[in-house]
Amino acid sequence: MTFRQALALGGHVRKGETGSIVVYANRLARTEPDAEGVDVERHISFLKAYTVFNVEQIDGLPDRGQACARPTLDPHARIARAETFFAATGADIRHGGARAYYAIHADHVQSPPFEAFRDPESYYATLAHECVHWTAHPSRLDRDFGRGRWGDEDYAREELVAELGAAFLCADLGLDLTPREDHAAYLASWLRVLKGDRRFIFTAAAHAARACDYLQGLQPIR
């Protein structure tokens, strides 16, 4: 967590501790006049860096068991604009189990039930991630980094595209993106990819933007 997040929880980073840099990806919308003076909406992607600290570097935090406890999410807390967006994609979205994933051969998105998430934003951020994967199908954008296995570099490339795409979609939908629980498992493989190809972050962002444009293109014309 950041220095300020620790303070908000009543904790404080110990003197002399060194933080780690993380990068947040998002996209903002801006309305600007075009050459003919007509207002058009443009989407601008950006990256923002934060310094974060491990909880072991922070004193005074509340009990971890208490902090991790969470009630079952109210099934009526759904966000209408997000529900409408994902329904309009036409993706086969199924619910059940404890894992979220996209099955490319069966061509369906699997998600835990809405009530299993800590907040509505987490549910929709997960759907966004998996729906970006859904755009990779050969009948859609045909995005193929080699169909790698879990943990290898091809798999990591696709996961990075999906996570950036989720950030862009959540920004478009006005949702606060919450870090996924599997981020820690992905970090090492993402770092290997980015060390081997320092410009891949820009390639991944371009693929993510293309996936978001595809999903936006499935929405009804207003």
Structure tokens at 141: 């954008």
Q: Is residue 35 part of a domain?
A: no
Q: Is residue 52 part of a domain?
A: no
Tell whether pTM > 0.75.
no
Q: Is residue 131 part of a domain?
A: yes
Per the structure, the complete domain to which residue 96 belongs is given by 72-217
pLDDT at 185: 53
Domain count, the chain: 1
The DSSP secondary-structure symbol of 182 reads: T
Instruction: Compute φ and ψ for 38, nearest 5 degrees.
Output: -90, 130
Q: Is residue 187 part of a domain?
A: yes
Q: Is residue 194 part of a domain?
A: yes
Q: Are 109 and 102 in contact (CB under 8 A)?
A: yes
DSSP string, 187-219: HHHHHHHHHH-TTHHHHHHHHHHHHHHHHHHTS
Can you point out the beta strands (E) in 53-130?
Answer: 58-59, 93-95, 101-103, 108-111
Q: Is residue 8 part of a domain?
A: no
The tens place of each residue's pLDDT in the chain, 222 residues long, gives: 899 888 888 889 999 999 998 888 877 777 777 778 777 777 777 788 889 999 889 998 887 544 444 557 888 999 999 999 999 999 999 998 888 899 999 999 999 999 998 899 999 999 999 999 999 999 999 998 855 554 567 778 898 899 889 999 999 999 976 565 555 555 556 666 677 777 888 888 899 999 999 999 999 987
Q: Is residue 16 part of a domain?
A: no
pLDDT at 181: 55
Q: Is residue 49 part of a domain?
A: no
Q: Which residues of 63-92 are buried (b: 16+ CB within 10 A; e: fewer)?
A: eeeeeeeeeebeeeeeeeebeebbeebebe
Q: Are 44 and 27 in contact (CB under 8 A)?
A: yes
Q: Which of 159, 132, 156 is nearest to 216 (CA)?
A: 132
Q: Are 136 and 104 in contact (CB under 8 A)?
A: yes
